[in-house]
């Protein structure tokens, strides 16, 4: 009987002792604003972009932050995007250190050490490049270098289809035949 009373009284005593202690409120860091925090965050993400059930692109990002208020997604930690044609065959790969997606237009901005390579061996390097969703074009107003199996072209301002088959450099500064390199 004494053991039974002890088993009942012991939890009651512990509860009374704990309830009488002063409550400690956690400190709140007022320097961090709620709107500065992402609504969603993900690591080692793979995102599929489809149209009418067909894969159009696959995005790989080491770190992804979604901000609903500004309708932007920030991509960090070496991003990679594989673009596909109408037959779902991979045609082009774009890599960059970081990027941003404008959720209003679905335009993708690749930033820092941008390299785009197509299946024919055409390589485009620049500091910044944008994939424009409405017409599926890749554009840049920065300095670009295009290396093909036969030539190397450098200049400012660039536009191409996403498969890098039809491209234009607006202000060419250098052209050479790659056989001479």
**CATH superfamily ID and name for 37-180:** Lipopolysaccharide (LPS) transport protein A like domain (2.60.450.10)
The region that residue 57 occupies, defined by phi over 0 for left and psi between -120 and 50 for alpha, beta otherwise, is beta
- The secondary structure of 50-106, three-state, reads EECCEEEEEEEEEEEEEECCCCEEEEECCEEEEEECCCCCEEEEEEECEEEEECCCC
- Reading the block at residue 165, the tokens are 């088959």
Parse the chain into domains and list their residue ranges: 37-180
Quote the CA–CA distance of 88 and 86 in Å, as a whole number.
5
Rounded distance between C-alpha atoms, residue 56 and residue 58, angstroms: 7
What pTM was estimated for this model as a whole?
Answer: 0.76
Each residue of 102-156: pLDDT tens digit?
A: 999 989 999 999 999 999 999 999 999 999 988 889 999 999 999 999 999 999 9
Provide the phi-psi class of 106: left if phi over 0, else alpha when psi is between -120 and 50, else beta: left
**pLDDT tens per residue across span 39-96:** 899 999 998 888 888 998 899 999 999 999 899 999 988 899 999 988 999 999 999 9
């Amino acid at each position: 009987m004494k053991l039974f009373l002890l088993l009942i009284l012991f939890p009651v005593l512990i509860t009374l002792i704990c309830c009488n202690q002063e409550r400690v409120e956690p400190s709140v860091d007022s320097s961090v604003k709620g709107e500065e925090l992402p609504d969603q965050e993900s690591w080692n993400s793979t995102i599929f972009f489809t149209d009418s059930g067909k894969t159009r692109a696959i995005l790989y990002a080491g770190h992804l932050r979604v901000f609903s208020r500004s309708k932007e997604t920030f991509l960090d930690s070496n991003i990679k995007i594989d673009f596909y044609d109408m037959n779902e065959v991979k045609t082009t790969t774009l890599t960059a250190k970081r990027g941003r997606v404008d959720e209003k237009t679905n335009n993708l901005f690749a930033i820092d050490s941008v390299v785009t390579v197509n299946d024919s061996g055409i390589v485009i390097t620049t500091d910044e490049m944008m994939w424009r969703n409405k017409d599926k074009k890749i554009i840049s107003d920065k300095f670009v270098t295009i290396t093909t199996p036969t030539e190397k072209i450098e200049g400012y301002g660039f536009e191409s289809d996403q498969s890098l088959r039809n491209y234009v450099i607006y202000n060419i500064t250098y052209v050479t035949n790659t056989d001479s390199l």
